[in-house]
Structures are given as C-alpha cells and as structure tokens.
Structure 1
Amino acid sequence: MRSPPRPPLSEPTATVLLSVNLAAVDAALLARILLQPQPQLLIDCGAQPCRRGLGVCYFLSQLLLLRQRGASVWLCNVDPLLRRHLRQLGLEALFFLAE
C-alpha cells in the first residue's frame, strides 16, 4: 500500500538550523533533535566522510530517514555528482539546497 503524497515543501518558519555531521552524531543526540517540533537540520555534504566510505546511496538513505522523521533538511556544499543523483532519483524536491 502506498503512503499518501507529502504536501509540497514550503519555506520553514524556524530561523534556527542545527548543523549535523551524520558521521559523528550519536544516535541518542540525533533522537533528541528529531523529537523537537519541526527540526531544521543543516547538512554540509562536503564534510560527510560516510559519502566516500559507504557511498552516495547510504548517504541519501540517511537523508531520507531524517525527512521521514519530520525534519526539514537543508543541504549545503552539494557537489555536481550528488546534485545529479538527487535529480535523477527525483529527490531534489525533498530537500532545501543552500547555494
């Protein structure tokens, strides 16, 4: 059974973005962050060693899990390869791309 479509993204109303390093954050801290109402997360894609070690698919799955838990995810330092993967998989509309 398919899940209902998500409403389109709108600009977040919160002014605080929490910078998160997916490779270094522990599970307990991330769980506390995700319990906040409408968490806003900033992910520096250029500083994520898991992209090189575990691959772009692992990295994208981690981003999708954050979205699934209700977080708005801002991506900065998105290189052309990651941008192309996001576009080809139809995922670029799920994230805010900071230029």
Structure 2
Amino acid sequence: MKKVLLLLAVILFVASCKSKITPIGLVTTGNPGQHAYLLLEVDGCKVYRFEDGNRDVYFTTCKGQVSYKYTTRSGKTSITHHVDSLTEELPSTHE
C-alpha cells in the first residue's frame, strides 16, 4: 500500500510540473503515430506519459495493474476520477 501511495504522489507531482520530464524510453503502440513515453521506474512500477490532443496523460503499471487519474469540471466544481484496471503486459521499451 505504501508503494501505491508513493507512486500516486509521484504521479501527482509529475502532473503538476509545467516542464516535461525527459523520457527514459519509448513504447510503441498499436496506433500509428501514437507513442507512450516511459518516464521512470520504481520498485517494478513504471510511469508513462502519452499525449491526448493538447494534454499529457500519465499512467502507471505495477505487475499488470494500470491506474490513472483525470479531472472533469462542471462550472466551479472539479471532480477527480481514479481508475484502476488490469491489463496485459505492455510492449517492451525502446531506448
């Protein structure tokens, strides 16, 4: 549980930074022209970034589990959604 909380803290920190972290690897996807960038790895958990339109999306993988957060706004109210899901192993990274 401590690892998950630490990883979430890292993701929130990364998402709040204005400058982008230099990726350590590139993951190819099944979508031509779309890439995911490997940003860091801690205790077997990997943090990735990909671009969706004009915004960066960060996600993590930990032993086959993927989780991510996103925020929606309605007027003055913001709601943060946390999504956990199981996934297949991601493709290997290319440096």
- TM band (smaller chain): under 0.3
Higher relative contact order (CA 8 A, sep 6+): 1
Give the structure with the higher percent strand.
Answer: 2
| TM-score, scaled to structure 1 | 0.24
| TM-score, scaled to structure 2 | 0.24
